[in-house]
Amino acid sequence: MGYTNLERMLSNAKVEKYAVGAFNIVDYSTTRAVIKVAEKKKSPVIIQTSTKTVKFYGYKHIVSWVKTLTGDMVIPVALHLDHCNDIDIIEKCIDAGWSSVMIDASSYPLEENIRMSREVVEMARPKNVTVEGELGSILGVEDDLILTEHDSHLADVESCVRYLKETGVDVLAPAIGTAHGVYIKTPNIDFGLLKEIAEKTNIPLAIHGGTGLSPDMFKKCIESGGVKVNISTNIKHLFKDALEEYFEASTDYEPIKAIQHLETRVMEGVGDLIESFGSANRA
């Protein structure tokens, strides 16, 4: 299948009861590592980019990385824009070749969230680009947005049904008690809410805040209807820890060796998550 959007990838996951990892890359090396281990595991995979990453590297460069690395691969690989409420940036990603985008207008009133999401769907659909939307407010840090426990709130089923009906988004990220960043205590995930939303909407659901969840929590999320799991903070930690580990143990100044070590560590971490999500040998 190679380079694709989320439609068929997540539809298969929904039917066969597994999840696809969406890994927030930070550079070319982490992109390559994620794609290499996905190919090794014969797993579909989502290369995910934050708005901050897109602004830093530029639109065309990131698309070029993913399409070049994907090449003639059989495994499905999607390039997805993570949380973004800037319609201009979303449009530029669509025009540059992203295969999927997320409009996150969840901080706005429902009516405005619906309006903005519908606008993105209308610009994405003619180019065969899938769209993810969000309802509720997910705790934690995402790019420069910090959401405290006081400000966060879970999605409600009726709003989810209305939102999907009036926007036509392909994937929904409902707030169910997970959080972006590092968990300082065990998250109180509402698996019942996730299951009810899955049953009432019959649409692929995304689980945000995957870093730090246990294999058992992943299993329960998948059993309750989650088919896309976002992993961001974990990749950042692998990046930092791998380079520190290498230079603390090495006396040379050879950057290529450090990058090779980094890629190995990222492949190990992502490979373990692919196994936890049940997506290995699903491509």
Q: Which amino acid is at 84?
A: C
Alpha helices in the chain (DSSP H): 6-16, 28-41, 51-57, 59-70, 87-96, 110-124, 157-167, 191-201, 215-223, 233-249, 255-277
Q: Is 144 a catalytic residue?
A: no
Question: Which strands form 145-147's sheet, in the order they lie side by side?
Answer: 145-147, 139-142, 179-180
Name the residue among 178, 198, 81 with its Cα closest to residue 138: 178
Q: Which amino acid is at 36?
A: K
What distance in Å separates the CA atoms of residue 133 and residue 194, rounded to the nearest whole number? 15
Would the CA dihedral through 2, 219, 49, 271 be positive or negative?
Answer: negative
Name the residue among 239, 236, 187 with its Cα closest to residue 208: 187
What distance in Å separates the CA atoms of residue 279 and residue 23, rounded to the nearest whole number? 14
What distance in Å separates the CA atoms of residue 238 and residue 269, rounded to the nearest whole number? 8
What distance in Å separates the CA atoms of residue 93 and residue 80, rounded to the nearest whole number? 9
User: Residue 232: phi, psi to the nearest 5?
Assistant: -125, -60
Do residues 212 and 179 make contact, with C-beta atoms less than 8 angstroms apart? no
Name the catalytic one among 27, 72, 82, 95. Answer: 82
**Residues with catalytic function:** 82
